Each structure stands twice: as C-alpha cells, then as structure tokens.
C-alpha cells in the first residue's frame, strides 16, 4: 500500500489526494471560517464519500498540540486517517480514507476533517437483528477472529463499541468493518485489549445470546493463541470487570445498556 500523500494548502496540513481537497475545499473552508460542524455525503467521480468536519475549542487545541509535540501523536482526524490506512494495509476491513486535514492558526489546530469512502453495510446490531442462526454464528466468529488478530498485532481500537462495527458480506462469509478508529492505534497505549472487549460487551451483553458470548470468547482466545499472543487467563471475568468500570459513563449517554453482565460460564 502506497504512503498517503502529505501536502499543504495555506494553513491546512493534509493527507490524501490534492484533487479531493480541491473538490471539497469551498464548503470545507466555509465551515472552517464559521467554526461549524460539517457532515456530508458528497459524490466524487461516482463514489460516495462520508465527510466529517468539526472545530476545535482552545482547550482541545492546546491538549492536542501537547500530544503532538510530546508524544508525536497527531490530531484525531489525522490519526484516524493513519489508523484506517494501517487497518487496511494489514488485511482488516475499514473505510478507505481519502482525505484528512487540520487547519492551524498560530500553530494550533482549530478545525479538522476526514473524508472516507462510504461503506454499504449494516451496523452489527442491525445485521444480528435480521440474521438467522447460522449467519449470526458466522458474523460473530469472524468478529472474534478479527479482534484477536488485531490485538495480537498490537492494535487497540479504544472505541470498539457495537455502533462502530459494520458487517459486510463477502464470498467467504460476513466480515467486520472497523469504524471511528481515531482514539487508539498500533503500538503502546494506556488501554489494552480488555478495554476493547469491555467496550464491545456494553452492547454485546444484550446483542449476543449467552451461547454466542461463550463461543465468541472461546474463538477470541483461540485466535490470540494461534498468533502467539495468548489472552489473559479468566478472560470472561476480567472483561466483565472492565465493562462494569466503563458502564457508569456510557449509561449517561446510552441508558438502554444492560446494568449488569457476567460472563456465562455454563449452558
């Protein structure tokens, strides 16, 4: 996979194709000047893009500037572009990143954007709601194997919620598509695989049947072992504890989440 082109346009620091920036620039720069959020799905050369842009408040801009200088960690949309590129380069399904940019003023990022190609696939929850038993099993097996390989390669997503997973059909069966991958990435991270699994089981406690939960974790553990990076012992209990830690914050935004979950050890 070729390295995405880095280029500048005035105060913009950009990744991707200059032609995409030229097509999106009039509306993008209007939103950047106004400091307004931008969500759009324009069609460029027959391809639908998903575009998101947002201003950065002064406090966030300072925080990201410190992370960029001290930790060499780029701003969220630039980081997401890099992470999506990494995922695709390593054989995972993720939206194709087309353009990412940060507008800097006096050295601080004050607006950021990302454009990816739209993925025509249902969310995990929607797929499971209409799939039969065999299709559900295949989708969850594929998800367990993909997450196991992801973690074995040292990539922690950090926002591995069900809402950030699509299920795409392929000749070999359903495959997961990873979205919203800006917070984590490959390499050292303050969070680890347990954080990802705790995020997934916030909704997974209700989305997955108990037998499916047992099968998912068995497949995940087997996948980690096959890649030479075994999962921690007593994995189910550890994930349940991580889910409980995350739950109070997440239930403020998603009150529908099940208040309790323990790993189902028996049928």
Specify the domain boundaries for CATH 1.10.510 within the chain: 124-253
What are the structure tokens assigned to 15, written together? 């990744």
pLDDT in tens, 126-178: 999 999 999 999 999 999 999 999 999 999 999 999 999 999 999 999 999 99
Give the class (CATH, top level) of 124-253. mainly alpha
Our measurement of the distance from residue 16's CA atom to the centroid of its chain's CA atoms, rounded to an integer in Å, reads 19
Asked if 56 contacts 110 with a C-beta cutoff of 8 angstroms, the reply is yes
Write down the pLDDT at residue 1.
41
Q: Which regions in the chain score pLDDT beneath 50?
A: 1-2
pLDDT of residue 59: 82
Residues paired with 116 in a beta bridge = 50, 97
Residue 3 has a pLDDT of: 55
pLDDT at residue 57, as a whole number:
87
Tell me, rounded to whole angstroms, the distance of Cα 119 from its chain centroid: 14
Residue 97 — left, alpha, or beta (φ > 0 → left; ψ -120 to 50 → alpha)?
beta
Tokens 């790993």 locate to 263
């Amino acid at each position: 996979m070729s390295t995405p082109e880095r280029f500048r346009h005035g105060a913009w620091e950009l990744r991707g194709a200059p032609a995409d920036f030229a097509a999106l620039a009039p509306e993008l720069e209007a939103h950047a000047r106004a400091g307004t959020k931008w969500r759009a799905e324009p069609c460029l050369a027959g391809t639908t893009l998903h575009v998101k842009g947002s201003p950065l408040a002064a406090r966030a801009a300072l925080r990201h500037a410190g992370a960029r200088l001290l930790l060499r960690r780029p701003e969220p949309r630039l980081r997401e572009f890099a992470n999506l590129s990494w995922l695709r380069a390593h054989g995972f399904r993720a939206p194709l990143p087309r353009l990412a940019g940060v507008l800097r003023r006096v050295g601080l990022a004050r607006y950021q954007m990302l454009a990816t190609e739209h993925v025509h696939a249902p969310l995990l929850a929607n797929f499971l709601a209409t799939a039969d038993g065999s299709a559900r099993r295949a989708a969850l097996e594929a998800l367990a194997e993909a997450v196991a390989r992801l973690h074995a390669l040292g990539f922690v997503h950090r926002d591995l919620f069900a809402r950030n997973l699509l299920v795409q059909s392929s000749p070999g069966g359903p495959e997961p598509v990873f979205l919203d991958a800006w917070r984590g990435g490959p390499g050292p991270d303050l969070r680890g695989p347990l954080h990802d699994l705790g995020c997934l089981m916030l909704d997974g406690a209700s989305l997955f049947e108990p037998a499916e939960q047992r099968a998912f974790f068995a497949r995940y553990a087997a996948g980690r072992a096959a890649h030479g990076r075994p999962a921690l012992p007593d994995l189910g209990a550890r994930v349940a504890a991580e889910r409980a830690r995350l739950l109070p914050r997440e239930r403020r935004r998603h009150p529908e989440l099940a208040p309790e979950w323990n790993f189902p050890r028996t049928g």
